[in-house]
A and B are shown apart, each in its own frame.
Chain A
Amino acid sequence: MTTATDERAGSSATTPGVRLQRWLRRHGWTIGVWLLLLAFILWYATLIPAFGEFQIASIARNSLPTVYLALAQSVVVIAGGIDLGIGALMVLANSASARLMEDQGFAMTLAIAVGVVLGAALLNALVGLLIAVSEIPDVVVTLGMLFVYSGLALLVLPSPGGGTSPGLRFLFTGSETGVGTNYWMPILMLALPTALLAWWMTRSRRGLSLYAIGSDLGAAYLSGVSIRRAKVVSYAVAGGFAGLAGIALTTLANSGDPRFINALNALLASLAAVVLGGIVLGGGVGSVVGAVAAGIILFTLNPILTAMGIDPNTTQVVRGVLIVLVMMVAGLLEWRRRRAE
């Protein structure tokens, strides 16, 4: 695996060229996914007669829930877990916020939004604690939570309904009515949480501890990382982002929808985004930034296929083929690189 060149690659005097090369190689997947997204958007632009601010704003705001959920799942997967309850937690946050925010003013809805995000984080932290203490596999516990959260959502909001304030809708979608051409607000809401999370994951000691437990439990423990705490933190952060996804959904639709199928769709989209985004199931490798692009790509497929005049029902097929195709290409590239070494 390691070669003599690696051993000597080194010395303190690394040239900027070498640094750039290594940076490109290390973040190759993330860059690749973003380029793919760019290609998709350009393709979309050529498909429709007029591509402009409206389309950008539409893509940005409608992919918000998927992106937040992709971020949530990324954190858990990087830390070596998997959260099957994340979609249902989003639906719960969506239902609860829509019910509580109906007919409230902006300040109140903002306070409720903060409360829902913190509540979701706390709820999922308890799930993380349960996993850490009982050492029951993540899949099992979170599968149970999928049903628990879904049931709670139906208790909170038995049928679709509820609402929110125009001010909060503007905050997430850039428009008080949910339609419009202001794309700065949704793009900011995409970029800011992503940047914060990415920075925290790779720079802070706590964030690095999530990578550490996902990469090698033994080495992490010997490095002084508290395995349990890191596990709980990963689920708490994921819960917070699921709460955010629920709020985004409320502002997009100006209502809540507690149906189980939403939870399942959102969960599968989050897993697809994580895989497509280059995060290794099993933990330790990948960047949340890649998952964001993958989340947007998965969403963009809908308008592209519609624009091409293809039956929207084939979207799922295309999604599946895209995921497998990307994984195969990546596998091929990796294989060629290994052989070259």
Chain B
Amino acid sequence: MREAAPQADLLRTHEVAKRYGSVVALRSASLAVAPGEIHALLGANGAGKSTLVKILSGVVGGDAGTVDVHGAPVELRRPLDALEAGLGTVFQDPALVPDLTVEQNLRLTGVSPERVRGWLAHMEVDVPDLDTLVKRIPLPILRLLDLARALAHEPELLMLDEITAALPGDYVDTVFGVMREWRAQGHSVLFITHRLGEVLEVCDRATVLRDGADVATVTPSEGDERTLVEAMLGEGAPTRTAGHRERDGAPEGPVVLEARGLTARTALKGCSLELRAGEILGVVGLEGQGQERLFDVLSGDRPFEGGELRVEGQPVKPRSPYDMIRRGVVLVPADRLHALLPQRSLRENLASALYNTVGSWLTPVRGERPAVEGTIERLEIDTRAQRQVRRLSGGNQQKVAVGRWLAAGFRTLLCFDPTRGIDIGTKEQIYRLLRELADDGAAILYYASEFTEAPVICDRIIVVYDGAVVTELDPAEADEATLLNAAHGLEENVT
């Protein structure tokens, strides 16, 4: 039954590929979904799951490969094409226009409000008045509205991209109920999630993507978590070198940054950590587990509601990033151009952080030139395209993002995925630089979306899951499989 002939498949993609600029998001993804099954799409961060869903829903065009529905090739150029082909999607981000009412949103997409109301009632959701503005509706309800709207299109294949990530437990069960019912009606579901427990609970089959290609299609059953994780990582997962950790036995520095039970809306649910001077503390987590908000809160960019934040023992309630910068806590964000002044010169960018130290209008900045020159030398920044920072390569831009804090002085460095999209040579340089900084007594909090990174450069690793730090690992024992298991929140279930 499961090994049915190709034409029996509801959906079949063949070697679909997609690149964004020089970044390959999908190399060659083939996937087959049979009628009447719940099919999971799995993969580590950046494996290409969301890209595949975007292609299948007509949001982005694929570069190569074919998509067949019921054996006939379909062209998916716009979201409408996908709907007409019977592919309905609930995207990772809400697809409802915030300034319109629910009813107007439904009219915009040509969906009958009656059907949506029917589905909401069926899900036993406390049906929001359809005349409410979307921006006034809480996120979990919005996700269910998205689901109800997708169902109202009566898609043959319902694609759910991490719908459960923003849902509390009881609503997750509701969604599972809908998925099972959709299957019972002979339709199919393509289900994307980071939570392996959910896969075992509801899915008939699972396709695993790794590095933009499909590597396995399995029928998951109880106790298969390890198998799935192995498939996601691959048997030839690169073995790590001990890297730069030569600090065994070094005395522990004082705690410089301490968080106790931080809460922020739905993103952080009691997050605690201690960061000591002279160490690199790694943060590991799957996408959307609250790590972004954690860094935003620690850098003073966004407020926290509950819990306590201490810098060098003093409680802090920052109102802006400047409050944290004054206390020596600085951020290197993932989006480099977001942090820099892209149109301005290399030297101005490096000097920009110095201006925080000057008090009044007329005091000149002292020692700007030596600080800037010293930083350029120390970081080996390529100065050929120095007139505008946006013309520098990604790696050099990241060096500037770190370098301006180097020029201005800091005590705690928060690095959020600083090596995203950077070549291996520059990565090594950044690793070495961070290690030097830590050896000089800086405290560094380091998040990397690639799981291979943290064990290489970190002294300790903490794992975030569902808005909280769930466990701490010793990098020597943290191979990728252990990390992935912990990041899936499996620690308590399996071991």
| Residues of chain A having any CB pair with chain B under 8 Å | 1-2, 6-12, 14, 19, 22, 26, 202-203, 205, 208-209, 211-212, 214-216, 218-226, 284-285
Contact = CB atoms under 8 A, between A and B. Distances in A.
B97 A224 contact: no
Quick one: which of A6, A14, A224, A225 has the most chain B CB within 10 A?
A224
A26 B128 CA distance: 17
Contact of A211 (B78, B97, B137): B97
B136 A6 contact: yes
Ranked nearest first, the 5 interchain pairs of A and B with the lowest CB-CB distance are: A222-B95, A215-B99, A284-B99, A212-B97, A224-B79
B311 interface: no
Given A215-B97, A219-B98, A221-B79, 14 more contacts: A6-B138, A9-B129, A10-B127, A12-B117, A12-B129, A26-B133, A208-B108, A219-B94, A219-B96, A222-B91, A223-B105, A224-B79, A224-B80, A284-B98
A285 B107 contact: no
Contacts of A203: 107
How many chain B residues sit at the interface, stated as a range, is: 20 to 34
A212 B78 CA distance: 17
Contacts of B117: 12
A221 B91 CA distance: 12
B109 interface: yes
Nearest to A214: B99
B200 interface: no
B100 interface: yes
A9 to B, nearest CB: 7
Contacts of B91: 222
Contacts of B94: 219
Contacts of B138: 2, 6-7
A306 B190 CA distance: 70
A175 B75 CA distance: 59
A322 to B, nearest CB: 26
Nearest to B91: A222
Interface of B: 59, 78-80, 83, 91, 93-100, 104-105, 107-110, 117, 126-129, 131-133, 135-138, 141
A230 to B, nearest CB: 10
B137 A2 contact: yes
B458 to A, nearest CB: 35
Nearest to A22: B131
A225 B110 CA distance: 11
B95 A219 contact: yes
A284 B377 CA distance: 49
Contacts of A218: 93, 95
A10 B133 contact: no
A11 B108 contact: no
8 contacts: A6-B132, A202-B104, A205-B108, A208-B108, A215-B99, A222-B93, A224-B109, A225-B108
Contacts of A224: 78-80, 83, 109
A10 B129 contact: yes
B108 A223 contact: yes
A339 to B, nearest CB: 15
